[in-house]
Each structure stands twice: as structure tokens, then as C-alpha cells.
């Protein structure tokens, strides 16, 4: 099936007389006739549900749709994008290990990796998203277990050279994990370029209406854990905490990663998405293909308007021909990138504040990828714990404004920007 069809119908096919819409299974637990029946589930011998912290049918329908959209073999939902990235990394990294990550990533993920996971004994080397193959190679150590980047980085809007990152990761026997939140599978399918694991903050375009925080992890099924068994004992040797199951042997490359992530991390850390939120997420997914097209059109029009405005110093949007990431966007995002545009006003920080105060349609919000246009100055909000030097390195200078262009009429949006710019 094509992406447009999967958005609408993927993941759930009702049988005769069953509900047309995905049922919300609002139940923490599931009933069995015998202890033996339930025992088979605990031994991973039979498929089924016993407790929603591990799995719930509503979540599984929606995860299956996301797996189909990405062209993966298995997927799971998490309570947030933060949980998705943490689980994806922690599923294969432990104390004493090392991660190579693009420096151009979401502020929350930057903190997760550089502060919280460091405290857990997991080290990181940040690399520039524009690093050469040689520079990327030099970042690897014998204990490196994962490489990480974002297809379109939030908020720097750099575009990841997925094929190059995947090539380097694989040369070191390590999977590439790509956060595909901003591009969505409508814009880019990282597995087609060699990525091994994809993560999402479904809070953004997938939900698309600012209704529910959530995340997802998708496995391509392509990474051969057994071929690198010495690096990934958690996937290739018996799990003492789960009846000695060897995930790679039992579930193969297609299922090992997500099964381990569910049975260990979800079991112990419990960051499950509520079935109610999974249902809302699915409503968003049903129109994702239609909305992304409009987000990209509106984003392009706003970027072009700002680009030509005398009060605007610079615009970051890979759809602009003079953007440094335009060539990468043409390769990885041929159908358009997203609705998020960032720019700096010639008047600096002060002008940014005046501009934002005067906007009428675009609201100031710590959010992006919503049907309603919103904007933010990352240095004074999401990235405020970073030093000026880190801000610059992450591509988020202090005067930067990020605008997430929604689905309103483009003439109204541009009129709003124009009147606010006049007052700067
Ligand atoms: C928002 C975001 C996250 C974090 O997701 P939450 O759902 O807010 O926890 C991770 N990565 C990217 C690219 C994001 O935009």
C-alpha cells in the first residue's frame, strides 16, 4: 500500500461486525480461564495481553500503522518522545558504553544524552551534522553502541545525511537511530537510506492537533545483532530477568529489538502511552498525508516571504535554494520538509521579543508541528539551560525565532507576520 492509504487504513482491519474505528481498550488488565493460559504469555510462548503497562491492543494497532508507514518490522508506542529516544538508546547501551550523536538535535534529547545518560555511565561524543566521513569515523570508540541524529533537527532545521551516517555506523558494527519526528514518514523514510531504528515524538505532526504527548520506536529489522553479538549481549545472550530468553534467537532481527524493549524497559520503567492517547494519535495519523502537504506549502511560502523581508537577517529552511541543507533536502525530502521555519531578525534579541509580542495569529508556545501556527524563541525557553557556545554549536543562536507554520490560510499568516515585522 502507498503511504496515503496506510495513513488512513494501516494497522487495523476490523473483522465482520467489529468496530470500524480502532476500539479504545480502556482496561489495565485482561482475563484468562486458566493460569496455564496466562503462563504462556509470561513465557513469550503465546501472543496476547495481560497488563497494559506492557502491551494494549489499542496501542498495538496504532504502533502497527506507524511501523507500516516507516516500512519497519515492529514498533511500540511510548508515553512521550523523550521516552522513545531514551528507550531506543538504553535498549542497546549500558554503563560503560558510548554513543555518537549529531550535535544538532532537540534540546530535550541533548540533555537526555549529555546529562542524564552520562550520569548512568553512558558517554557521548557529539559530531557536527556536516562532519565528513573521516570526522565521523574518528568519533567512534570500541565501546560505541549507537549513532544518533534527527532527519530534520528541532529547532536548528539541519538535514541529516542519513546515508553517510548509516555507512559510518555500519562500518563500526553499530546501528543508526534516527529521530524522524519533523519529516514524518510522509516526507522521509530513513530505513530506505540505511537507518536501523526510527523514533518519533508523536506529539508533533503525527498527532498534529496538540492533543496528546506520545512517542514511538520503530525497528527496520535490518540490523544483524547476532553478527555483532559481542557488542549486544542484551539481545544475543539469555535474559536472566525473563526466563532466559535470547531475543535474537527467539524473535530474529525483525522482532528482537522491540520485544526486548517492551519486556525489559517498558516492564521496568513503565512509560506506556495511554490507550486514549493512542486513539487520538490515530485520528491524527488518518490525515497526516493531507496535513503534511499543506504544512510544507505554507512553510515554504512563509520562508520565502521572510527571506525577502528587509528586517530579517537570515532564514533557515531547507526548501530555500540558498539554504546550506537544500541539496540534502532535495535528496531526502523530495516532497517537502515540514512547516517549521526559523529566522533571525536584524534587530537581534530585542526585535525578536517585539515581533513575537505583536503576532496575532501565531501564538507563543513551547510546541511545534501543530495545526495552529505558533512560535518560540528557543534560547529563552526550551534551550535556556544551554550556554551561548552550546546554543551556537546546536545551531540555535540567542536571537533565533522558530515559527511552526500551521494549516491556516497562507494570506492571513503572511499578513500577520508583515504587521508584526512593521513594529520591529
Ligand atoms: C518534541 C521532540 C522530542 C521530545 O518529544 P516529547 O513528546 O515532547 O517527549 C524528541 N525529538 C524531537 C525531534 C522533538 O521535536
Distance CA 205, CA 185 (A): 10
Q: Check residue 261 and give its pLDDT.
A: 98
Least confident segment among 97-111, 146-160, 217-231, 368-382: 368-382
Least confident segment among 38-52, 150-164, 194-208, 246-260: 38-52
Q: What is the mean pLDDT of residues 212-226?
A: 98
Q: What is the mean pLDDT of residues 372-399?
A: 80
pLDDT surpassing 80 at residue 388: no
Model confidence at 398, pLDDT cuts 50, 70, 90, reads confident
Mean pLDDT computed over every residue of the chain: 95
pLDDT surpassing 90 at residue 253: yes
Q: Which 3-state string (H, E, C) describes the chain?
A: CCHHHHHHHCCCCCCCCCCCCCCCCCCCECCCCCHHHHHHHHCCCCCCCCECCCCCHHHHHHHHHHHHHHCCCEEEEECCHHHHHHHHHHCCCCCCCEEEEECCCCHHHHHHHHHHHHHCCCEEEEECCCCCHHHHHHCCCCCEEEEEEECECCCCCCECCHHHHHHHHHHCCCCEEEECCCCHHHHCCHHHHCCCEEEEECCCCCCCCCCCCCEEEEECCCCCCHHHCCCCHHHHCCEHHHCCECHHHHHHHHHHHHHHHHHHHHHHHCCCCCHHHHHHHHHHHHCHHHHHHHHHHHHHHHHHHHHCCCCEEEEECCCCCCCCCHHHHHHHCCCCCCCEEEEEECCHHHHHHHHHHHCCCCEECCCCCCCCCEEECHHHCCCCCCCHHHHHHCCCCCCEEEEECCCCCHHHHHHHHHHHHHCC
Which atom of ligand 1 sits closest to the CA of residue 85?
10
C-alpha cell belonging to residue 350: 530585542
Q: Whose CA is nearest to atom 12 of ligand 1?
A: 106
Ligand 1 pocket mutation, candidates 154, 198, 217, 376, criterion most atoms within 8 A of CB: 154
Distance CA 180, CA 151 (A): 5
pLDDT surpassing 80 at residue 153: yes
Q: Check residue 394 and give its pLDDT.
A: 67
Ligand 1 pocket mutation, candidates 80, 82, 129, 395, criterion most atoms within 8 A of CB: 82
Q: Check residue 244 and give its pLDDT.
A: 92
Q: Check residue 421 and give its pLDDT.
A: 96
- In the chain, which residues fall in CATH 3.40.640.10? 7-283
CA dist 321 → 193, 304, 324, 333 (Å): 23, 10, 8, 14
What is the dotted CATH code of the domain comprising 7-283? Answer: 3.40.640.10
Ligand 1 pocket mutation, candidates 204, 215, 370, criterion most atoms within 8 A of CB: 204
Q: What is the mean pLDDT of residues 312-340?
A: 97
User: How many residues can be counted in the chain?
Assistant: 424
Q: Check residue 57 and give its pLDDT.
A: 97
> Percent of the chain having pLDDT more than 70?
100
Handedness of CA 80, 202, 49, 45 (dihedral sign): negative
CA of 187 to the centre of ligand 1 (A): 17
Ligand 1 pocket mutation, candidates 110, 203, 274, criterion most atoms within 8 A of CB: 203
Strand partners for 100: 125, 147
May I ask the CATH class of domain 289-422? alpha beta
Q: Check residue 77 and give its pLDDT.
A: 98
Model confidence at 96, pLDDT cuts 50, 70, 90, reads very high
- In the chain, which residues fall in CATH 3.90.1150.10? 289-422
pLDDT top residue among 64 and 347: 64
Q: Check residue 382 and give its pLDDT.
A: 75
CA dihedral 207, 209, 211, 217 (to 10 degrees): 20
Name all residues whose Cβ lies below 6 A of ligand 1.
80-82, 85, 106, 108-109, 150, 154, 179, 181-182, 201, 203-204, 213, 215
CA of 6 to the centre of ligand 1 (A): 23
Which atom of ligand 1 sits closest to the CA of residue 213?
7
pLDDT top residue among 212 and 390: 212
C-alpha cell belonging to residue 276: 486514549
Q: Whose CA is nearest to atom 4 of ligand 1?
A: 81
Q: Check residue 45 and give its pLDDT.
A: 85
Q: Check residue 26 and give its pLDDT.
A: 97
> Percent of the chain having pLDDT more than 90?
87
Distance CA 407, CA 211 (A): 16
Amino acid at each position: 500500500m502507498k503511504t496515503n492509504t496506510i495513513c488512513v487504513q494501516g494497522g487495523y482491519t476490523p473483522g465482520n461486525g467489529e468496530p470500524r474505528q480502532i476500539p479504545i481498550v480502556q482496561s489495565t488488565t485482561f482475563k484468562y480461564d486458566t493460569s496455564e493460559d496466562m503462563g504462556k504469555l509470561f513465557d513469550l510462548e503465546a501472543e496476547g495481553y495481560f497488563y497494559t503497562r506492557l502491551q494494549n491492543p489499542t496501542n498495538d494497532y496504532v504502533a502497527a500503522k506507524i511501523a507500516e508507514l516507516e516500512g519497519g518490522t515492529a514498533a511500540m508506542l511510548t508515553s512521550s518522545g523523550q521516552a522513545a529516544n531514551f528507550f531506543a538508546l538504553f535498549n542497546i547501551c549500558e554503563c560503560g558504553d558510548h554513543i555518537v550523536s549529531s550535535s544538532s538535535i532537540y534540546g530535550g534529547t541533548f540533555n537526555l544524552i549529555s546529562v542524564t545518560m552520562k550520569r548512568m555511565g553512558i558517554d557521548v561524543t557529539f559530531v557536527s551534522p556536516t562532519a565528513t566521513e573521516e570526522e565521523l569515523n574518528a568519533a567512534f570508540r570500541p565501546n560505541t553502541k549507537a549513532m544518533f541524529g534527527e532527519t530534520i533537527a528541532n529547532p536548528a532545521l539541519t538535514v541529516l545525511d542519513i546515508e553517510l551516517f548509516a555507512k559510518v555506523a555500519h562500518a563500526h558494527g553499530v546501528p543508526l537511530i534516527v529521530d524522524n519526528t519533523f519529516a514524518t514518514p510522509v516526507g522521509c523514510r530513513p530505513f530506505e537510506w540505511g537507518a536501523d531504528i526510527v523514533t518519533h515524538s508523536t506529539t508533533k505532526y503525527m498527532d498534529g492537533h496538540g492533543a496528546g504527548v506520545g512517542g514511538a520506536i520503530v525497528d527496520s529489522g535490518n540490523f544483524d545483532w547476532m553478527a555483532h553479538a559481542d557488542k549486544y549481549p542484551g539481545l544475543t545472550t539469555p535474559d536472566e530477568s525473563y526466563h532466559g530468553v535470547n531475543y535474537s534467537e527467539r524473535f530474529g532481527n525483525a522482532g528482537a529489538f522491540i520485544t526486548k524493549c517492551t519486556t525489559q524497559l517498558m516492564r521496568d520503567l513503565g512509560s506506556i502511552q495511554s490507550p486514549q492517547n493512542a486513539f487520538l494519535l490515530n485520528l491524527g495519523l488518518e490525515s497526516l498525508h493531507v496535513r503534511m502537504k499543506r504544512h510544507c506549502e505554507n512553510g515554504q511560502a512563509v520562508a520565502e516571504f521572510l527571506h525577502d523581508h528587509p528586517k530579517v537577517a537570515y532564514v533557515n529552511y531547507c526548501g530555500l535554494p540558498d539554504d546550506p541543507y537544500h541539496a540534502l533536502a532535495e535528496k531526502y525530502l523530495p516532497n517537502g520538509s515540514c512547516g517549521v521555519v526559523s529566522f533571525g531578525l536584524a534587530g537581534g534579541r530585542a526585535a525578536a521579543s517585539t515581533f513575537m509580542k505583536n503576532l496575532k495569529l501565531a501564538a507563543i508556545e513551547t510546541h511545534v508541528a501543530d495545526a495552529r501556527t505558533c512560535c518560540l524563541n528557543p534560547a529563552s525557553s526550551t534551550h535556556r539551560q544551554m550556554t551561548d557556545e552550546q546554543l551556537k554549536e546546536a545551531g540555535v543562536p540567542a536571537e533565533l525565532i522558530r515559527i511552526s507554520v500551521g494549516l491556516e490560510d497562507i494570506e492571513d499568516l503572511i499578513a500577520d507576520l508583515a504587521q508584526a515585522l512593521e513594529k520591529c
